[in-house]
Chains A and B, each alone.
Chain A
Amino acid sequence: MARLNINGTVRDVQIEDDTPLLWALREQVGLTGTKYGCGIAQCGACTVHIDGEAVRACSITVGSIKPEQKIVTIEGLSPDGSHPVQKAWVANDVPQCGYCQPGMIMAAAALLKQKPKPTDADIDANITNICRCGTFQQVREAIHAAANA
């Protein structure tokens, strides 16, 4: 059993401690916006925030997370898609298949919290998510648009 603070709600999740946060979120809590892509922290599709930092949820176990640590998933980024990054994503028509985009958006939101006006070099260094559709050009534009919103 793990006690987790997810999107502002503390829950007791009935699962073995060595379960990756990704699968606890998807299968015990029912938050499927956080995606599986590789399971080895390479692709970033499972990116969530823990205390404001972008973390790859496939590679952290629920047993290693303290109850007071605040986990935010794509579903908790805003109640209605109104976070500046989400709005910029819609305005720039960023997603293609969209599967990697929750992770991409969480990574971008964490970057903007750290660096409200990121340079292209900041984006290159911090956004390391894989997108097989190749939306990078629109991702970059949308991050700058969100920064200037």
Chain B
Amino acid sequence: MAPPVAVPVRRGGAKRVLPGFGLTLGYTLFYLSVIVLIPLSALVLRSFSLTGEQFWTAVTSPRVLASYRLTFGASLLAALVNLVFGLLLAWVLVRYKFPGKKIVDALVDLPFALPTAVAGISLTALLAGNGWIGQYLEPLGIKLAFTPAGVVIALIFIGLPFVVRTVQPVLEDTEKELEEAATCLGATRLQTFTKVILPSITPALLTGFAMAFARAIGEYGSVIFIAGNMPMISEITPLIIIGKLEQYDYGGATAVAVVMLVFSFILLLVINGLQAWQRRRAGMPA
């Protein structure tokens, strides 16, 4: 008898001892298509039914341009505030001991758990002229609720956990020995921070920043209550889409949505790139 012919080994075949590859991957692709890919392509295909001119007019009318400026500007500002205070919070939570630390640590995730509409009405109640904070600011001539400044505050709330939660684990893993070495070589504490610690957490910091920025751009629930929603002044881009939908301007709504979608994709790629950079820094395969 001829010896049994060696079964050709598939690429990665050695790992397929476990059953269920076809079932789980098949179901994953099916569910992904039904929930995400088909509706997403509906949006893109619908935008092709517009002529180039219709599309361009819809996405560049003055009111829409003003909404981009507010959405992107406020999101950038909020993400920058979160970058600074997120780093501070992560630092304090990792490096220092103080009473109530566990509670503070748990509370950082509140913006993930608290529905955005609740955050919106609550921040508005705080900052309105008769609110806990607003009543002290109003006599000074500072108005936050129903202005673009209110939008920034809502977006700071929404994006707060991102930087903290991306920086925290990296900071926990940094090696104290490096800092000791820097000190022994004569570095001041500030030099150690900027030249040793900061470079090692930069990828994580930027990832958190980009995530907070991306989240802020799409945010709707918390913003519409506090913004006042005045056209040209405090109207965010997602609200423009809703407004067009309510006027049955499906084409216009789709066009603006595609602009937002393209920007989301770009940010998603940037975040993926940053995370790969971070994994390389940590010495893991990208």
The reply to whether chain A is a binding partner of chain B is no
B residues apposed to A, CB below 8 Å: none
